Amino acid sequence: MAPAPSRIASPEPNPDQADEEHQPPVQRQNTVFTSALDLVQQLCHSILPPVPSHGSESDDEVSPSTPILPGSYPKSKTSSLTTDVWLEHPASPSASDEATHTHGACAAATQYGSPPSQTPSTAPGLPISATAIENMGSALQGAHNFTVRDRARITNMVGVNNVTNYGGTIDLDVMKIFMEEFVSFDAVHDSPVQDPTRQCHPETRRGVLKQLQDWFDDPDADESIFWLHGPAGVGKSAIAQTIARSLSRDKVPATFFFYRSDTSRNDGNRLFTTLAWQLALSIPGFKTHLINSLNERPDLPRKDVETQFEELIVRPLQALNEISSQTPFPAPVIIIDGVDECVDEKLQRRILKVIGNAINDRRVPLRFLICSRPEAHIQETIDNFQCPTLPLGLATLDDAYKDIEIYLKAEFSRIASEQDLDPTWPGEEIIQKFVYKSSGQFIYASTLIRFIDDEYSCATTQLDIVLGLKTSEAKKPFAELDALYMEILKRQPDRNFLNDILSLFIGCLLSKFYPIVAIKSYAIVMNLSEKELCRKLRGMRSLLKLDSSVDVYHRSFLDFLEDSLRSGQHHITQQAAERQSLNLITTSIVRHVPIVLEQPDSHELHFSLSVCLDRCALSVEELQEALHPLMQIQVKLLGMEKSWQRLLPCNKCNILFIIRNLLMYLTCRQEASKHEAAHTAQVVEQALTEHAGSFGPLTPFVATEVEQIVLEKSDLDDTPSSLLVHLRGTKLELPLSAMIIDLICSLLSFDYVETAMRVRSISDGQVLVDAIDYLINNGDFLSRHGTAIAHRAALLALEVHARAPVLPRSMFCSGDIPQHSIVNEYPLMSLFTSTFMGRILDRSYVLRVSWMFKEGRLQVVHDNMNTCQSFREWRRSNPGLVMMLRVMLEVAKAIQYVDLMDVLLHDIFDPREIFLDSECHVKIFPWGDILPMTRLSAEEVHQRNIFILGCTFYELYFNVEIEQYRDIIYQSQFEDDMIQLQGPEPPSEPEISDELWQVIQRCYAADPKSRPTIQEVVQEMESWKID
């Protein structure tokens, strides 16, 4: 049998040789030796030079088949003879049998002479020199699949490994021969391939290290397993290395650091053999019992991990405990790092189950520190442990960014000192940029420093390459990070799914399809159940946060995907991601609409997805193409006999709202793209400018005979049809004819919801909204017909706007911007909706807003903001009691007005949107949406507004901030959270009247149903005769 080659430390594998490394090992014949002499004979035959034939004085080699009989021992050429090894065997039945058994051994003996005082034929053993045994030892290195039978012994093997009783028993060093193929010496924490600098930087990870140290030192700790988990690159291995190198062997007797790219460190079958080998070196007495296990079953290293753990670790420890009952406390800890780096996922589970079961049964006096990524199957396995486990997630620690900042500042300071740079280099701003980009992951920071600190390059040049100020085709700053991302991505077997999910994720994140963050929403779009989606994403849990929502652990991962040189086949541009995302969302909507319309009461079928575009890189043409299927659905919805907004019985399904919002976004983009071109809306704006805010006198109306009949016989079926026929023909030519105005007035006498239902196309909705916008903003019309008809016209316009994705085209004209206007930037959808409401709502309560292009972006302009101040600014002026009450009454009336108009402001009424003009009249910024287009009921909105009104009263009167109240406003939480809240008790100063205090208390009562209506609040405050 040819002996196995000696194993040496494996170098880092070449990715190009990955296929070769995973080839199955060459199968060797399983050889059985009937005695130790057979073994030595074979070994000597392989490693010793052939012996000359009997009686020959020449140095010619003897054929291996030449028999050498007992007594035919040539004299040694060496004058000094040292007998190093004796081979002892049972008495052979005959000399001839013995001769056949000792062929190779005799050859060795003939070279070095006979043993003292004995003849070869009668010697109980055969002498072999140290040199021969050294050769024999080398031959035995890595040998396996052989058995030595009978009770022969090899004793006193000097100069090799001091082996005794080989054959009958196995001592430690020959045990190494058995186990070397199955022990991963490179996986031990202090092996040559482990980077000794890969430890926590001083002053960092103090909290984690202290928690681990406390657990190590606590003899009363209930948990025998500490699970340290976190995404890729968060620093788990560095923490494990720091612990392993800082503690003595009696506290950490064994370690194993998995590494996927190294075949000697990625095989879970080597784990327990490697740990057993280290325990034999670390725990007194363990070696003897381990040898006993191997004596009885030399094939243990080839058994499954369950048997290995039981026989190589549990059994020796139990035998050791039977002899000595003094188990060390606290129990020593075995460190296993990178369980997820084991190439076999099923084997990962089995290893963890073996450990968990043994700890639960208290069969081993050991504890385990297990470090891994939060892969789903690992978490599931550990969660099912019956024994107490102490988990610690590094991704959720608050001090990660601070630690990275400390690390970067220290390392940049060191580099600056070594290269004679400015001590303040590279500057606080750049350091903070890197801290942010790290996402709390140390691998980003360490990779960055390793690149900049290249000994053959200038640090400032390297930094410029990282910052993109200089290009370098040869140098890749984040090569290590890129390799990590590529390794994780290639584990995903379904390439189409990977491309879709990454496109959806990037598209939603970068173009603000917000808030598609819920895992349930992703599942809906991907046409999978949540469980199926999570299972498909199991291999990416170290990159993506997959709890109730979906997010990325590493911001640098997005940079990686957007850079084609780094990500290669996984490269995804923002535009491509947005296009694919929109296609996936549109396909999902089309798939669900029939189900929702046919079974609106079946909640389990409800499409739950919140999607609204903010900024999108797609062109108008690309948007039109992607959203074309939704336009077809919109046409069908407008043809329905019932209003689809009121079709759905609850707020769990918003698929139809999504259609409207996406199409509204398309309308905004289409109209905004025309603002510099010739457009009908410019005619409207010109008229607005010429009449200085008034449309002038209306054209006198003299009805024809046919028109008079139409007016006299107006009904809800004929009037809208007649009006729309006239409006289609006018093409919005100003001024409108008196006939059209009278038809609109007749139309406004009907219920605005029923009237809006007569709008059966987007084009009809557009011309009707344009006409109403014209009249509401015409001073002469308002003076003739009063504010009541303007109120009804605004309600109709809002309802049409909710039914069809249309906006007044006049608001898309670029007019003169007031010189002192305050300009703020808002999302596109909210901007246009606010502009629309500001144009048609009563300006006694609502600010008029418009928009402008500035630096390629749409921005909101607040009219007359040079004469207005915010509510909070006014509050800081310490107004008197009468002025406070007067302003609060106006705030209540403003809320009453928007409630009557079915308008939802800012998800929840926010004092930040309250302004006061120069005469302290309250005006509300119309930031929100039309109530039918939200998933909230009118009752919910009104209750929430009352709650905020009470809190605003409290803050104003006592000049304090209510933290809980502010959190609710700014986070826009829903009613379920507010039910648990109740306003505070009044402070001792200033005094407050019972009447006012009762109003405040009732408004922010914990039970929403006990709060008053806004009408009740207004009536009570008006009864105080404030003026």
pLDDT score at 70: 36
**Residues 93 and 231 reside in one and the same domain:** no
User: What would the mean pLDDT of 977-1003 be, rounded to a whole number?
Assistant: 73
Report whether 850 contacts 865 (CB < 8 A).
no
- pLDDT tens, position by position, 330-343: 889 999 999 999 99
Of the chain, the percentage scoring pLDDT greater than 90 comes to 22
Dump the DSSP string for 121-188.
TT-SEEEE-HHHHHHHHHHHTT--SEEE-SS-EEE--TTTT---SBTTB--HHHHHHHHGGG--GGGS
Q: Where does a domain end: 335, 364, 394?
A: 394
- At residue 809, the pLDDT reads 81
Highest mean pLDDT among 97-111, 197-211, 972-986: 197-211
**Over the stretch 456-488, which tens digit does the pLDDT of each residue have?**
889 999 998 888 867 666 677 888 788 888 888
Helix (H, G, I), strand (E, B) or coil at 191: coil
* Domain's final residue, options 394, 428, 449: 394
544 & 650 share domain: yes
Q: Same domain for 365 and 456?
A: no
pLDDT band at 507 (very low <50, low <70, confident <90, very high): confident
Between 243-247, 379-383, 949-953, the lowest mean confidence (pLDDT) is in 949-953
For 720-764, the DSSP string reads HHHHHHHHHHHTTPSSPPHHHHHHHHHHTTS-HHHHHTT--SHHH
180-184, 388-392, 911-915, 949-953: the lowest-pLDDT one: 911-915
What CATH number did the domain enclosing 949 receive?
Answer: 1.10.510.10
Average pLDDT over residues 947-968: 76
Rounded CA-CA distance 541/554 in Å is: 12
Q: 857: which residues sit within 8 A by CB, 6+ positions away?
A: 825
In 203-287, beta strands by DSSP E: 225-229, 254-257
Give the pLDDT confidence of 200-235 residue by residue, as tens digits.
Answer: 988 899 999 999 999 999 988 889 999 999 888 888
User: Residue 458's pLDDT is what?
Assistant: 92
pLDDT at 636: 86
pLDDT number for residue 390? 93
Say if CB 319 and CB 289 are below 8 A apart: yes
The answer as to whether 669 is a domain residue is: no
Do 191 and 154 fall within a single domain?
Answer: no
Over 800-812, what HEC string results? HHHHCCCCCHHHH
If you search the block for the tokens 């084609």, which residue do you land on? 564
Query: Mean pLDDT of all residues in the chain?
Result: 73
Tell me which residue of 577, 228, 616, 233 sits closest to 437, measured CA to CA. Answer: 233
pLDDT at 114: 38
Domain holding 528, by residue range, is 497-550+566-664
User: Is 7 domain-assigned?
Assistant: no
Contacts by 942-945, CB closer than 8 A, 24 or more apart: 942/899, 942/1013, 942/1014, 943/975, 943/1008, 943/1009, 943/1011, 944/908, 944/909, 944/975, 944/978, 945/895, 945/899, 945/905, 945/908, 945/909, 945/1014
C-alpha triplet 836, 837, 843: angle, nearest 5°: 120
Phi first, then psi, for residue 126 (nearest 5°) are -115, 130
866 pLDDT tier (thresholds 50, 70, 90):
low
| Beta bridge mates, 128 | 85
Q: Is residue 834 part of a domain?
A: no
List, in sequence order, every residue forming a beta bridge with 851; answer none if it has no partner.
860
Residue 729 is predicted with a pLDDT of 65
Is residue 492 a part of any domain in this protein? no
In this structure, the answer to whether residues 432 and 521 fall within a common structural domain is: no
Under the banding of pLDDT at 50, 70 and 90, the label for residue 92 is very low
Question: How much is the pLDDT for 858?
Answer: 56
Q: Do residues 895 and 945 make contact, with C-beta atoms less than 8 angstroms apart? A: yes
Q: Using 50, 70 and 90 to split pLDDT, how confident is the model at 957?
A: confident
Between CA 943 and CA 948, with CA 944 as vertex, the angle to 5 degrees is: 120
Lowest mean pLDDT among 42-51, 67-76, 267-276, 922-931: 67-76
Instruction: Name the least confident of 13-22, 402-411, 608-617.
Output: 13-22
Label residue 193 exposed, middle or buried (CB < 10 Å: 0-12, 13-18, 19+): middle
User: What are 228-258's pLDDT values in tens digits?
Assistant: 998 888 889 999 999 999 999 999 999 999 9
Decide: 1012 and 945 in contact? Cβ < 8 Å.
no
> Is 282's pLDDT higher than 50?
yes
For residues 803 and 851, the answer to whether their CB atoms sit within 8 Å is: no
Residues 49-53: what's their mean pLDDT?
46
Based on the domain organization, do 405 and 387 belong to the same domain? no
**CB under 8 A, 24+ apart: contacts of 668-672:** 668/807, 668/828, 668/829, 668/832, 669/616, 669/620, 669/623, 669/828, 670/620, 670/624, 671/807, 671/809, 671/812, 672/812, 672/858
Residues 443 and 536 in one domain: no
Confidence check: pLDDT of 170 > 70: no
**Radius of gyration, CA atoms only, the chain:** 42
Helix axes 442-452, 428-438, angle to 10 degrees: 130
Q: Which whole number is the average pLDDT over 963-985?
A: 51
Domain for residue 153, yes or no? yes
Query: In this structure, are residues 812 and 679 in contact, taking their beta carbons and an 8 Å threshold?
Result: yes
**Helices (H), ranges, 297-441:** 305-308, 315-323, 345-360, 376-383, 400-418, 428-438
71: phi > 0 → left, psi -120 to 50 → alpha, else beta; which? left
Q: Is 486 inside a domain boundary?
A: no
Question: Would 443 be classed as within a structural domain?
Answer: yes
pLDDT of residue 166: 40
Of 235, 230, 328, nearest in space to 279 by CA: 328
The region, left, alpha or beta by phi > 0 then psi within -120 to 50, assigned to residue 468 is left
CA atoms of 903 and 114, how far apart (whole Å): 112
Q: Is the pLDDT of residue 998 over 60?
A: yes
Of the candidates 470, 446, 442, the one whose C-alpha atom is nearest the C-alpha of residue 458 is 470
* Measured distance CA(765)–CA(246) in Å, rounded: 75
Is 231 within the bounds of a domain? yes
pLDDT tier at 96 (50, 70, 90 boundaries)? Answer: very low
Work out whether strand 367-372 and strand 333-337 pair parallel, antiparallel, or are unpaired: parallel
Q: Which residues contact 586 (CB under 8 A, 6 or more apart)?
A: 626, 627, 629, 630
530 and 635 in one domain?
yes
Rounded mean pLDDT, 963-968: 57
Q: What is the pLDDT of residue 491?
A: 80
Of 974 and 633, which is predicted with more confidence? 633
Neighbours of 704 (CB within 10 A): 9
* pLDDT exceeds 80 at position 66: no
819: which DSSP letter? T
pLDDT average, residue stretch 528-552: 81
Region of poorest pLDDT, from 227-241, 557-571, 688-702: 688-702
- Are 406 and 384 contained in the same domain? no
Read off the pLDDT of each residue in 715-731 and give the average, rounded to a whole number.
Answer: 72
Considering the domain architecture, whether residues 889 and 1016 belong to the same structural domain is answered as: yes
> Where do the H-state alpha helices sit in 777-827?
779-803
- Tens digits of per-residue pLDDT, 647-675? 555 555 678 778 887 888 888 778 767 65
C-alpha–C-alpha distance, residues 922 and 632, integer Å: 43
- Count of the separate structural domains present in the chain: 6
In the structure, what pLDDT confidence band is assigned to residue 71 with cuts at 50, 70 and 90? very low
| pLDDT at residue 415 greater than cutoff 90 | yes
Output 551 or 452, whichever has higher pLDDT.
452
pTM of the model: 0.57
Tokens 């549990």 -> residue: 314
Question: For the ranges 6-10, 212-216, 427-431, which has the lowest average pLDDT?
Answer: 6-10
Of 328, 361, 394, the residue at which a domain comes to its end is 394
Residues 385 and 431 both lie in one domain: no
In this structure, is the dihedral angle defined by the CA atoms of residues 405, 411, 414 and 419, taken in order, positive or negative? negative
Least reliable range by pLDDT among 327-331, 390-394, 559-563, 740-744: 327-331
Percent of the chain beyond pLDDT 70? 64
Whether 716 shows a pLDDT value over 70: the answer reads no
Is pLDDT at 511 greater than 50 in this prediction? yes
Encoded tokens for 226: 């500490």
Using the structure block, give the residue that is written with the tokens 């035998």.
319
Q: Is the pLDDT of residue 49 over 70?
A: no
Q: How far is CA 353 from the centre of its chain?
A: 27
Q: Is the pLDDT of residue 623 over 80?
A: yes
Q: What is the CATH number of the domain that holds 258?
A: 3.40.50.300
Give the separation between CA 678 and CA 675, rounded to whole angstroms: 8
| CA–CA gap between residue 353 and residue 385 (Å, rounded) | 8
pLDDT at 577: 87
Instruction: State both tokens at 622.
Output: 């690309």
> 590: closest CA among 498, 524, 536, 534?
524
As given in the structure block, the two tokens for residue 795 are 């309600």
Determine the pLDDT at residue 968: 54
Regarding whether 502 and 648 lie in a shared domain, the answer is yes
